[in-house]
Structure 1
């Protein structure tokens, strides 16, 4: 991992993923998490202020970037429940099967190299009756925007740590073995269309 990925990229992503429209999306989905929560791609902890402290008993934050944990750790200090940061030593989520009540993933499926395998891992660690809460950006519904997403995606991945702007999140979640219970979509305001089409909702295994 080079200097850009270690020292610069976490701050770039922290800034890009902390805009007002994205922050508003986080406010919609994060409070639905409950019980023991696994947050995929916790990054710098931008979701932390929005957890319902009356519903969450423990939070496990999964992220491969230890540099991001520093920023996340600062945000976690004020929370009344335990927050544990874990890395991703291999392809499999390092937790026991059926061990969490909620999996939360926001703006991370776009970056994971094998999102379907990752979703299968999320399903594995969910308890019976548990839920996946998601909020992601991805493939636009109109052909003109999608065409530009496909053109720009190779360069976008390099600049933003492997982020894809053209993934169909509905299909990925279903391919990962989940049934989508609820989902909404829209273009975020004040956001470039190529990166602004959002999917959010909840799914069950």
Structure 2
């Protein structure tokens, strides 16, 4: 990782993700979380002040040490208790069926292997747990999709591997989740970057036997 990726990009990411228009998405996404929560791509900790008193602990995973330093400031003195782990979501150091809820906001777009990440979510989530997500991704209109396909190779190089064209809902379902709620639509901004998926999923009991070992 070069100087840009290690020092400049985390600060740009923090500033970009502080947009006020994203706060309602964040609030809705974390509102249903409870118990022990795993937050994938915790970043600079912008979700941490939004958790309710139903949450007893948050484990935040992120590959950026710089963003985690900002998150540590946000977590200082906060409730619930927060543990921050520097690492990849594809290989999380957590035991099987150890968390009650998983939260991810605008991070599946940038992970190297989203299927492997979602397999890890299934592995660490308790059988009755829920997966809460807010993401941007593939738009329904072909005209917008064409722009997403054109822009993604360039965009991902300057935006920390962020993909504009990942089909979020089908990715989640294909990895063994049954989506209980899904809301989609455009946020403010250029359409290729602004098609949002927001929802809640549970592990599909018919496919739960395929959870990989730790």
Separation in 2 of the partners of 1:161 and 1:103?
A: 22
- The question of whether the paired residues in 1 share the 8 Å contact of 2:184 and 2:197 is answered with yes
- State the match for 1:84 in structure 2: 83
- State the match for 1:162 in structure 2: 161
Secondary structure at 1:36's aligned position in 2? strand
- State the match for 1:199 in structure 2: 197
Alignment of 1:1-205 (within 5 A): 1-52=1-52, 54-88=53-87, 91-189=90-188, 191-205=189-203
Structure 2: tracts of 5 or more residues without a match: 204-214
Kindly provide the CA deviation profile for residues 76-126 of structure 1, in whole angstroms up to 9, marking residues without a partner as x: 114122110112268421100000000001100000111011101001101
- The question of whether the paired residues in 1 share the 8 Å contact of 2:61 and 2:88 is answered with no
- The question of whether the paired residues in 2 share the 8 Å contact of 1:139 and 1:197 is answered with yes
Number of aligned positions between the proteins: 203
Separation in 2 of the partners of 1:169 and 1:6?
A: 27
Separation in 2 of the partners of 1:117 and 1:4?
A: 26
Secondary structure at 2:146's aligned position in 1? helix
Separation in 1 of the partners of 2:23 and 2:201?
A: 21
CA spacing shift, 1:136–1:36, aligned 2, 3 Å: same
- The question of whether the paired residues in 1 share the 8 Å contact of 2:33 and 2:132 is answered with yes
Secondary structure at 1:10's aligned position in 2? helix
- Runs of 4+ in structure 1 displaced over 4 angstroms? none
Secondary structure at 2:8's aligned position in 1? helix
Separation in 2 of the partners of 1:90 and 1:204?
A: 19
